[in-house]
Every structure is written in structure tokens, then in C-alpha cells.
Amino acid sequence: MIDELEVVHLAPAAARGGYAIIAAPHPLYGGSLDNPVVEMLAKGFSAQGLGTVCFNYRGVGQSRGEVSGDIERAAEDYAQVLAWLRSTPTGQEAQLYLAGYSFGAIAAIACARAQRAAGAPSPAALALVAPPLRMLTEVSLADITAPSFVLMGQSDDYLPLDTARAYFARIPRCTVTENEADHFFAYELDEVAAFASAVAQRQL
């Protein structure tokens, strides 16, 4: 299965180990590993010495198969990348961070839930940028035992501020960072990198 997916290492892991796997936004709306928010997440993690791994869902870019907007399928793709990384010599004992932007954040949550149900090791943390509130009702962030870090924009139409604040306030071990962005972070990309860097340092 992993041979079907386009996977890109954007930076090697430092000697102390650690990787961030970063999922792209919705594949039916042009989401790919070349997305600027995905690239800035990778930049922020790599600034702290972590290896970064980005991937395209099935049917996107060089990945084979048919494109789909199904969350379960996206989580399966994510899990394949995670399993492959854990099978590598440097990934076996490394701390692993699950990250994603928009739909990719939902895929990261869904993958973490499936991993927990399978008895797999818990990730070091989840780094979630702008997870759409409607899709959060389809996965349960409250089921995740790892610390969750969320970056949300105060002008994000897909994550209404007051409702989102109330939602995340009910989630154990969830830390929320807000900025002035809309859903696309066009003018706040440096803040995305700073967010990822802070998650790697656990300084939020």
C-alpha cells in the first residue's frame, strides 16, 4: 500500500530522533503536500530538529488510486505512512508527531483514534491547524490520550470562534492558540511555522 502513495521527506531527523507526519487539506479541493500551510508546518518542526514526512492521499499528485474525500480512507493513507515510518531503523524508537491542516487535521485525529483502538503506541502529540468544526463531529478528539495542540484563526468561517472555543474547552489535554487568520492563513504563514516549532518544544 505504501508504494501507492507519494511520500516526501522534507528534512532528516536529528540524532535525538523524532518525526512529524503532516497531512494535506481536502484532496477534492486541491489539497496536496505542496500546500503552503503544510510546508510551513514542516518548516517549524524541522527547525527543532525533527524529521518531517508529508504525503499525498490516494489519487493526488504521484499517488496512485482514485481520489476521495472520505475521512476513513484518508486515515488509512495516514496510517500506512505511519506504519512505514515505524518500520524504518530511525523511526522505530522515535517520538512521532501527527499533524495536519484542515481536512488533514481530521485525518490525523482519525488515524490517532484507530491507532489507539489497535493498541499501537501513542504519538508524542497532535498538531492540528484549522480543523473544520463540522468534521470534528465525525471524529472524537476527546478520545485521544496524547496532548493535542490546535491553531485556529479568529476569522475562520469553517471554525466559528465562540463555538470552537467551547468545543476545545471540553477536550482534555488540548491547548489552543489563536491568531487573526482566516481558514487559509495567507498572511499568517510564519505563525504556522512558529506553532509547529512550539509544539515540538511543548512551549505553547
Residue 15 has pLDDT above 80, yes or no: no
Grid coordinates representing 183?
481558514
Under 8 Å between Cβ of 111 and 75: yes
**Using CA atoms, how far apart are residues 124 and 94, in angstroms rounded to an integer?**
9
Residue whose C-alpha is closest to residue 40's, from 130, 109, 115, 118: 130
Instruction: Compute the mean pLDDT over every residue in the chain, rounded to the nearest whole number.
Output: 94
Q: Check which CATH number belongs to the domain holding 117 and give it.
A: 3.40.50.1820
- Per-residue pLDDT band for 139 (boundaries 50, 70, 90) equals very high
**Using CA atoms, how far apart are residues 77 and 41, in angstroms rounded to an integer?**
19
What backbone phi and psi angles, to 5 degrees, belong to 135?
-75, -25
pLDDT in tens, 32-42: 999 999 999 99
Type of residue numbered 27: P
Residue 100 CB: number of other CB atoms within 10 A? 30
Grid coordinates representing 139?
471524529
Number of separate domains in the chain: 1
- Per-residue pLDDT band for 14 (boundaries 50, 70, 90) equals low
Residue 102 has pLDDT above 80, yes or no: yes
Q: Kindly state the DSSP code that residue 106 receives in the 8-state scheme.
A: H
Residue 182 has pLDDT above 80, yes or no: yes
Cα maximum dimension of the chain: 45
Segment among 70-74, 140-144, 151-155, 178-182 with least mean pLDDT: 140-144
Type of residue numbered 2: I
Range of the domain at 28: 2-201
CA angle 22, 7, 38 (to 5 degrees): 30
**Residue 144, pLDDT score:** 93
Over residues 39-65, the mean pLDDT reads 95
**Using CA atoms, how far apart are residues 168 and 154, in angstroms rounded to an integer?**
14
Grid coordinates representing 114?
484507530
Length of the chain (residues): 204
Type of residue numbered 63: S
Under 8 Å between Cβ of 25 and 37: yes
